[in-house]
A = this chain, B = another copy of it.
Amino acid sequence: MARFIEHTLNILPVLFEGLGVTLKLTALSALFGTLLGLLAALARISRNPLFTVPATLYVNLFRGTPLLLQLLFIYNALPQLGLLIQPFPAAVLGYSLNSGAYIAEIIRAAIQSIDRGQMEAARSLGMSYGLAMRRIILPQTYRRLLPPMVNELSALTKDTSLASTISILELMKYSSQFVSRTNLAWQTYVWTAAFYLVVTMTLSALASRLEKKLEARG
């Protein structure tokens, strides 16, 4: 027991440091991923093939291949093609592109789940497509977006555990380095799991609170 406490005291500071990187990477990627996803979603539901085709290619490519491959491509292959990106920006790029593809589908599904009658009512009042989208459709998606976006944010948090392959030292990497150094596998992993769970559970808790607030409006 005393040993367990001692280990814990050693593990925690390292994990906290890793958590910081994990959260920073997650937050930046979520931000850019959401912007990218919104654009891609709007492009996909437009009726102009100049928008739909590239958006569809993007979404399918990034949803159809492993994240690990995408990260390695950005880190190792792009320099061969003349584009050298530093590790952290490369990671943010990779995670943004990847989550953007998933978020695009989330937003598209949310938009398409809004009753067609809403768009028709707006158009019948003389609103343009863009105005109707901005003022009528998108605001109604927020509540529906919340659960899948929180899922995606959780997924992103967990996926950052792959960033060590491109030399980012985040929570998971610190954890496994600690294990290799001390051989305290299960103790370290349990603590690491707890860290991830705290993040993902906090996200869900915040989301369901926000959802209740939005629901109050009826």
Contacts and interface: CB of A to CB of B under 8 A. Distances in A.
Given A64-B201, A69-B193, A196-B65, A77 B185 contact: yes
A56 interface: no
Interface in A156-214: 158-159, 161-162, 172, 175-176, 179, 185-186, 189, 192-193, 196-197, 200-201
Nearest to A187: B77
A192 B154 contact: no
Contacts of A65: 158, 192-193, 196-197, 200
B154 A63 contact: yes
Interface residues of A, number: 34
Contact of A161 (B61, B68, B158): B68
B186 A77 contact: yes
A118 interface: no
